[in-house]
Amino acid sequence: MSIILTNISKNFGKFAALNHINLEIPEGELVALLGPSGCGKTTLLRIIAGLEQADSGRVVLNGEDKTEQHVSHRGIGFVFQHYALFRHMTVFDNIAFGLRVKPKKHRPGEADITQKVHALLELVQLDWLHDRFPDQLSGGQRQRIALARALAVEPDVLLLDEPFGALDASVRKDLRQWLRNLHHELNVTSIFVTHDQEEAMEVASQVVVLNHGRIEQQGAPSDIYDHPANAFVSRFIGQTNVFSGDDQDTIWLQSSGLPINDKPGKTAHVRPHDIDVEKASDEASAHAVLKDWQHLGALIRIELVKNAADADNATVYAEMPNEQFKRLQLNRGDKVSLRIRNAHWFH
Amino acid sequence: MRKSYIMPGFKPTLGFTLVYLCLIVLIPLSTLFFKSMELSAEDFFNIITHKRVVASFRVSFTTALVAASIASIFGFIIAWTFVRYSFPGKRLLDALIDLPFALPTAVAGIVLATIYQPNGLIGQWLMQGFGVQVAYKPLGIVVALIFISLPFVVRTVEPVLQEFDSSMEEAAASLGASRLQVFVKIIFPNIFPALLTGFALAFARGIGEYGSVIFIAGNLPYVSEIVPLMIVTRLEQYDIPGATAIALTMLLISFVMLLVINLLQLWVRKRSGQL
């Protein structure tokens, strides 16, 4: 089911949480709403769900205007950050809830409900917990039960509010993969909110970057990473080195091999992996001094200090594979020459 | 197995608890027991099965039950209003709730009797409009007991409602539940144990209440005489064993009823995974 939002605005007092949002989400996508805290992403999700009312704008789900409709009639499944499981009910009753509150003529029989709940429990691989209460489960288990509960009513759209926010790192990694697979299996249009860019890039098929109540960019993860629309997106997604673009920096960049014909913007953003590092053969070809490095697993992050007369002492980061770094046999304080392959210019 | 506590002092605090309970609760109540032992079993039985005494038991327990039930409903609504909404004058109203705690109960009784008597402020309106007489009837006792016991319900339900996770409501609504279903299936079961506690407190208070009731009840034998009044009457006639016999019986019935309510509460909590 497709989702179309037109001109959504929402104010909390004088604070504009959402500012004329226009967004179109095609059917079957797994979309991440990504942004720093306070950017309005959760508010937007709650407006789509009907848990919050927009001050202006329309919410159209599958071609139907649902702006005025109550949350219970929107055909959405919502997964809350803190699970919001019914703590007075067993896991089984939690999942069965959505089926049991259906109007009599649509309500399945108790046998069908039992069958369906067990099927869902198997889908989330937790059938053995069906008679436990939520308080007896771990965080990851609760989140999966919450998801099964939302899926029980066969929603047209699945909305997840920071689904992995309250979980520890290793559980989070597993669940990300699992959510991706589940989406492949069910193919229900899904939107999840996150402030973790890694999570968004890893799980989503489409990423929507929000900041200060506005959409900064929408696109596939690789698009957003390779072609950031503006300085905010470039800085928010992945690591980046920011150069001011004054004469000094420009000369330094140029000498480091970056071709600059009539400067296309005020600041240059360079990804750490777009910088090649070599041991400097002589004083003249040295662009920087190696200050320190860190192991990031397969990659090494190198901290460099620009080797220029009265340069600001800002650190420049470069990244290279572990093996390559070993071959270079670099030590702290070594003079290095650089080659900058690519930069994004922004105003 | 060695248990470690962050705060030391299990032994002195337990000792204090036991001494305190003995001095304040157990010893006075056991004198009640021993005093009534002065009676033969037959006399004891005759006293407590005297028609007028049995009638007073009926009046006391039914009015206390009815009043506690009504106070539970009203108390729940009041607590709900205070927790869920903010409105001007809320703090003032909030302070008003506790007033029955502070007011001498006799004062409450006199005021209620004045207002609810057949030509009183509200009483005449009820009398003319509906033909209902409140004061000097069992209904008057119920009114007095509701007044006395309302804060117990409000103050026990309020904190639980405050802590109630409202995202559970949102989750239920997103699953298609109507507002009524959200209330009946989600909110109420979570509040019920606290409401039961409030009910038990209100009920216990209602059974023991004397001051406010005697002014509004009219104290007609067989109709609106409460057990505490029977006890006081006996005492005034220097029939101390008779008074203790009735008191002991009342104590036992109350204890059993409160025990049942506690067990019910335990059962509810167990069934809903809160234990």
Q: How is A261-312 classified by DSSP, letter by letter?
A: SS--SSEEEE-GGGEEEEE-SSGGG--EEEEEEEEETTEEEEEEEE-STT--
Collect all residues of chain A within an 8 Å Cβ-Cβ radius of residue B189: 88
Cβ distance of A80 and B177 shorter than 8 Å: no
- Helices (H) and strands (E) in chain B — how many of each? 15, 0
Contact call for B168 and A90, based on CB within 8 A: no
Question: Do residues B197 and B206 touch, judged by C-beta distance below 8 A?
Answer: no
Is B272's Cβ below 8 Å from some Cβ in A? yes
Chain A residues within an 8 Å CB radius of B164 = none
Distance from CA of A220 to the nearest CA of B (A): 29
Both tokens of A9, joined, read 């605005």
Q: Residue B273's pLDDT is what? A: 64
Q: B95-120: string of b/e by CB count within 10 Å (b at 16+)?
A: eebeebeebebeebbebbbebbbeeb
B86 touches A at CB < 8 Å? no
Tokens of residue A340, six digits:
């900058």
Predicted pLDDT at B236: 92
On whether the CB atoms of residues A277 and A336 are closer than 8 A, the answer is: yes
Task: Please report the pLDDT score of residue A310 as a whole number.
Answer: 56
Q: DSSP states of B144-172 as a string?
A: HHHHHHHHHHHHHHHHHHHHS-THHHHHH
* pLDDT, position B135: 78
Q: How far is B155 from chain A (nearest CA, A)?
A: 22
Residue B28: burial class (beta carbons within 10 Å; 0-12, 13-18, 19+): exposed
| HSE, side-chain direction, 13 A CA sphere, residue A42 | 12
A88 has a chain B CB within 8 A of its CB: yes
List the single residue in A90, A102, A146 with the smallest CB-CB distance to B176.
A102
Q: Let me know: does A64 contact A74? Beta carbons within 8 Å.
A: no
Best mutation target, A47, A78, A82, A86, to test chain B (most B CBs within 10 A): A86
B115 touches chain A (CB under 8 A): no
What integer pLDDT is reported at residue A111 of this predicted model? 92
Which tokens sit at B143? Answer: 């009114």
Burial (Cβ within 10 Å: 0-12, 13-18, ≥19) of residue B144: buried
Model-level ipTM above the cut of 0.95: no
E strands present in A101-229: 157-161, 189-194, 206-211, 214-219
B6 at interface of A, judged by CB pairs closer than 8 A: no
**Any idea how long chain B is?**
275
B26-34, long-range: CB < 8 A, 24+ apart = B29/B251, B32/B244, B32/B247, B32/B248, B32/B251, B33/B248
pLDDT of residue B131: 80
Residue A82 touches partner B, C-beta closer than 8 Å: yes
Residues in chain B, pLDDT under 70 = 1-3, 273-275
Tens digit of pLDDT per residue, chain A (347 long)?
Answer: 789 998 899 998 888 889 889 999 988 899 999 999 888 899 999 999 999 999 999 999 888 888 888 888 888 999 998 899 998 899 999 999 999 999 888 889 899 999 999 999 988 888 889 889 998 898 889 998 999 999 999 898 999 998 888 788 888 888 888 888 888 888 899 999 999 888 899 899 999 999 998 999 999 999 999 898 888 998 888 888 888 777 777 777 877 777 777 667 788 888 888 888 888 777 777 778 888 888 888 888 988 887 665 556 678 898 889 888 888 888 888 888 888 888 888 87
Chain B's closest residue to A96, CA to CA, is B175
User: Can you tell me the distance from the alpha carbon of B232 to that of B157, in angstroms, rounded to the nearest whole number?
Assistant: 34
Tell whether B184 is within 8 A of chain A (Cβ).
no
Q: Do B176 and A73 touch (CB under 8 A)?
A: yes
* Interface touch A84/B274, C-beta < 8 Å: no
Residue B258 confidence (pLDDT): 87
pTM: 0.81
Contact between B174 and A152 using a beta-carbon 8 Å cutoff = no
Q: What is the pLDDT of residue B121?
A: 84
What pLDDT was estimated at residue A286?
76
A60 contact partners, CB below 8 Å, separation of at least 6:
A3, A4, A5, A6, A66, A67
